[in-house]
Structure 1
Amino acid sequence: MSVRILALVGSLRAGSHNRQLAEAAVKLAPEGVEVELFEGLADVPFYNEDIDVEGGAPATALRLREAAAASDAVLLFSPEYNGTMPAVLKNAIDWLSRPYGAGALVGKPVAVVGTAFGQYGGVWAQDDARKSVGIAGAVVAEEIKLSIPGSLTRFAETHPVDDAEVAEQLTTVLSSLVAVATTKAA
């Protein structure tokens, strides 16, 4: 069975360590697993019910919804901005939560991981993201966690895929999320 995981990165910065972590997930995906790194979150307008109308929703938001609907699971990569998740990630969750009760996240396994400069690796942001996707109807994989502290120093010279400890932890995250997705599908 092939498993598709949609990766959403909460940082728009070109050199983002969370983006690098997502890139590592793409490379480390086990055989039979495809991790799709969604491009274009910066182009999705802020959620507004006035523009989320049948036949009139923005193309970028529809593309996000289609990618999520076509996936078997979603993996969020969240930095921590002022103690919470970035607006771009919250906005993606808002778009994916609609239409209410039938959004692309309803019943979808979701895990949240990330890295941040602080000593806790962004756990507050990740906890907020888990809360938000749970309210949006996702099946939150609470047991799947990876918070990597000290991102600015840890990844200053090393890409996460080349950090043996991070690569091993990320591989475990992917395997665990695949197990949740295949159990749900069975």
Structure 2
Amino acid sequence: MSHYQIAVIVGSLRKDSFNRTLATALAKLAPSEFTFKQVGIGDLPLYNQDDDGNPSASVKRLKNEIAAAQGLLFVTPEYNRSIPGVLKNALDQASRPYGQSAWAGKPAGVIGISVGTIGTALAQQHLRNILAYLDVPTLGQPEAFLQVKEGFFDASGNIGPESKPFLQGWMDRYVSWVQQHAG
């Protein structure tokens, strides 16, 4: 049986982020041969092409953590109908210099949660567009546009009983996607 290391990129820096809680709870739904590691993106400098030849230690760390993973899980909020700037910066940093992207070929899942009724639908679509350009095979179905409501998370931060069957199905499909596409 293979082991799969998944790099989890949470698009929120907020300490009590719903998306960070979701990322942690989702990892508990995966089989034991999957390990999920949340990758820090809050310490990255803003992308500047002038730095391509001499990336910062945090950029090197990010690229190494992505390279070591067999799959990616993006868990992001929606800011102003798109992805947060911190997530776009991480995507840019680990994809540069041109031709040396750490993202290329890594199978990914995209999910997110918000207080709004459309969840993170537009942010996910924008993220999928970027990932397509970066040559990241991304799970298309099922889509998961989640809204934080009373009972979505239990007192321990796990997925609540009403949402668990759907998210277990999402995780099962994601696991299959990674197993099918991981090199």
The 1:63/1:166 distance shift into structure 2, 3 A limit, reads: farther
Equivalent in the alignment of 1:100:
98
The amino acid that maps onto 1:22 is A
Cα distance per residue 1:11-55 (max 9 Å; x no partner)? 1100110010011123332111101111x31101111111121xx
SS of residue in 2 equivalent to 1:46: coil
Cα distance per residue 1:73-98 (max 9 Å; x no partner)? 10101101011110011111111222
Equivalent in the alignment of 1:25:
26
Question: What TM-score results when the alignment is normalised by the length of structure 1?
Answer: 0.88
2: CA distance, partners of 1:102 / 1:176: 29
2: CA distance, partners of 1:142 / 1:76: 13
The amino acid that maps onto 1:67 is E
- 1:34-183 aligned at under 5 Å gives the runs 34-38=35-39, 40-53=40-53, 56-149=54-147, 151=148, 158=155, 161-183=158-180
2: CA distance, partners of 1:178 / 1:7: 14
The 1:83/1:76 distance shift into structure 2, 3 A limit, reads: same
2: CA distance, partners of 1:183 / 1:47: 32
The amino acid that maps onto 1:140 is T
Unaligned runs of at least 5 residues, structure 2: none
Please identify, of 23-32 and 74-83, the stretch whose mean Cα deviation from structure 2 is larger: 23-32
Unaligned runs of at least 5 residues, structure 1: none
The amino acid that maps onto 1:63 is R
Give the Å deviation of 1:156. 8.1
Contact 2:153–2:159 (CA under 8 A) maintained in structure 1:
no
2: CA distance, partners of 1:73 / 1:185: 7
Contact 2:18–2:113 (CA under 8 A) maintained in structure 1:
yes
SS of residue in 2 equivalent to 1:13: coil
Cα distance per residue 1:132-168 (max 9 Å; x no partner)? 111112112222422112x265558756514123333
Identical amino acids, percent of aligned pairs: 34
Give the Å deviation of 1:65. 0.7
- Higher helix residue share: 1
The 1:170/1:99 distance shift into structure 2, 3 A limit, reads: farther
Please identify, of 129-138 and 164-173, the stretch whose mean Cα deviation from structure 2 is larger: 164-173
Contact 1:65–1:96 (CA under 8 A) maintained in structure 2:
yes
Contact 2:44–2:58 (CA under 8 A) maintained in structure 1:
yes
SS of residue in 2 equivalent to 1:140: coil
The 1:165/1:98 distance shift into structure 2, 3 A limit, reads: farther
The amino acid that maps onto 2:11 is G
